[in-house]
Structure 1
């Protein structure tokens, strides 16, 4: 067989140039962000033969016999995950102005204090550019209270060793940056005292697992295991779950009509109400992936004390507590009002009416969207500049929408109000007040707000 004809040198060079042009140079490639991993939304098939079979978990809650064991296991679990999931560790340490760097954590490190020793539940160290930032951690689970004497000892240790921060971690939620514990302010000259709630820890883990994503599936799974542990009843890390011992005396005084200014329990109920609303916002943020926050309308010179005084005044005057929550996409703030006299919680939202030629057409536009909404939903038509207007329950409007048409003026917005029964007990059990507030807000969000097209026709 004859040899192939030789290729001219000029032709070979042309082919080589064409091949180089066909493959883009490395420096000219488009750089794309790495894909972030989240937990799968669909659960895996269950291969258990019986409902009593419990799946194996990385962080088990079995065998927790007392508060000390709960605190020790929760602390160690949290600190270990912080080092293994850098995105999560950074989320938490950034809250305390720590630098972005390598995180190492330790549990029950001994320090000399006076004639003896103290052992903080944890130590967090962050190294960056030759500098080491250090925080001592004091942890409480369940209903165990923080102790000022213990925290002040850690502040002394931190100051003596040149550490930056002491962090307290419990089920209490700090309000307006206030620490839930009162300590000697002289001990805060060199060391910062900061607070974190278990609900906030779970919130950060949930946002990364389900919305923002992590570097890889292993990190997502590890953080998901932490989240499962924190949400288990036995772990004692569920966050705010109890209106406190002041709830029953205030509830009974309102029922009897004997609640008066100067009552010592009412301010504590007002604080618990604010903590409940704050935790509600954290939960809704995690479920929606949006920034849900309480609405604070402060007068000039107003502060948290004045806001709580207003809640107390409302309890004394009408037996009610109210709050507003900003939920993106809801049209307006979601208002939550608990009436302790009638035993009802009312959640409401105001949405703009669609731009339609006739008032009746605007009503029908709304009713089409509320086809599956609860029949007890109260609908109110508001004209520009008017605080109220024609109002009727949804079950009546379905057969006669003209009941909502005002005598004069143009419908500018609709106020939708959903009543829900209120639990009388102070906790999260079946008849608990805390649980009933969660249920009331979830009903309005799931059955009303999510089905509305606020911008339709506007």
Structure 2
């Protein structure tokens, strides 16, 4: 079987006959499809191995010959550029499965025999991620890969919401217990899933807050504007010399939260100054968050424009007389 006959990895792999390893094969295919389809995820996974920047393709259940017998590897990832092809084998263990030494040795032998460039190993055994490995090997945990996909989705949400939604669905599938992916590799690690679940949920909450930071900041500023106006009116009117109406409070709160400080109305009581300090802090934070969000959108827009610009060499070849008949 040649490379052109290899089976491409798909997000929705039909699987083989129903059995114990069917969910694992579907999860493996989804992972490889995301590596190929999401450049940010692919670069994060393959960059430690020195993979070039190029077009990534991935395959699942690829057969090879090893010592006269047929060996089917979990996956193959290829990066193609104008002048080279970089290939890595992918060895996957999900759930409670571990990467047995004999299995890892077989994959390494295939890498050497066929002249491939690297070996990517994936499992739930976090201890192996810190072990010394050859220069052409890297070990990733499922948790790290799922987190990388979630970050990629967060970056693409404004630029390509449909694409981000698709990655979110894959992340949801891999996180689901029915996929059989995020189970501990050893019995001694059985107490870790609650902590991992907490970390996963916390990361989702953080990603949601980060994604909606600007709208949350503006909403908080609006609530603070009204609340500060009411609080300012209450605390300042305790001073017999003050006669602050709610309209005066709104004007003062607006000028304070925007950090303008018009100066015609200002707090005299200690409580009023505390309200002013809180209002100014919320105003400064809101402008900082909104400015950062706008800058991030401009950066993403510029990055998308650069990716869509045709390469100068390809442009030149298209307009050359030899290509126009």
Q: TM-score, normalised on structure 2?
A: 0.52
CA distance 1:227–1:99, shift in 2 (3 Å) = same
Separation in 1, partners of 2:87, 2:15:
32
Q: Which residue of 1 aligns with 2:144?
A: 200
Separation in 2, partners of 1:201, 1:141:
12
Q: Which residue of 2 aligns with 1:182?
A: none
Q: Which residue of 1 aligns with 2:88?
A: 135
For structure 2, list consecutive stretches of 5 or more residues without a partner in the other structure: 1-10, 209-281, 286-325
- The answer on whether the counterparts of 1:111 and 1:119 sit within 8 Å (CA) in structure 2 is yes
Separation in 2, partners of 1:62, 1:113:
25
Q: Which residue of 2 aligns with 1:92?
A: 45
Deviation at 1:120, TM superposition (A): 0.8
Corresponding position: 1:288 with 2:232: no
Separation in 2, partners of 1:118, 1:61:
21
The 5 Å alignment of 1:88-237 reads: 88-174=41-127, 177-178=130-131, 188=134, 192-210=136-154, 213=157, 215-237=159-181
Separation in 2, partners of 1:64, 1:201:
27
The 5 Å alignment of 1:249-398 reads: 284-285=202-203, 287-289=205-207
Q: Deviations over 1:312-370 (max 9, x none)?
A: xxxxxxxxxxxxxxxxxxxxxxxxxxxxxxxxxxxxxxxxxxxxxxxxxxxxxxxxxxx
Deviation at 1:113, TM superposition (A): 0.7
Q: Deviations over 1:181-235 (max 9, x none)?
A: xxxx8xx5xx723211111111012122235647412211210111111011110
Give SS of 1:209's match: helix
Higher helix share goes to which structure? 2
The 5 Å alignment of 1:9-24 reads: none
Give SS of 2:26's match: helix
Deviation at 1:277, TM superposition (A): 7.5
Give SS of 1:109's match: strand
Give SS of 1:238's match: coil
Moved over 3 A (4+): 58-67, 210-215, 244-248, 275-287
CA distance 1:226–1:214, shift in 2 (3 Å) = farther
Q: Deviations over 1:375-418 (max 9, x none)?
A: xxxxxxxxxxxxxxxxxxxxxxxxxxxxxxxxxxxxxxxxxxxx
Q: Give the paired residue count.
A: 200
RMSD over equivalenced CA pairs, Å: 3.6
Separation in 2, partners of 1:175, 1:154:
16
Give SS of 1:133's match: strand
Separation in 2, partners of 1:84, 1:247:
32
Q: Which residue of 2 aligns with 1:330?
A: none
Separation in 2, partners of 1:287, 1:95:
29
Separation in 2, partners of 1:115, 1:284:
50
CA distance 1:129–1:202, shift in 2 (3 Å) = same
Q: Deviations over 1:155-205 (max 9, x none)?
A: 0110122212111111222466316xxxxx8xx5xx723211111111012
Q: Which residue of 1 aligns with 2:233?
A: none
- The answer on whether the counterparts of 1:200 and 1:282 sit within 8 Å (CA) in structure 2 is no
For structure 1, list consecutive stretches of 5 or more residues without a partner in the other structure: 1-57, 180-184, 249-271, 291-452
CA distance 1:62–1:119, shift in 2 (3 Å) = closer
Give SS of 1:142's match: coil
Separation in 1, partners of 2:110, 2:156:
37
CA distance 1:95–1:280, shift in 2 (3 Å) = farther
Give SS of 1:120's match: strand
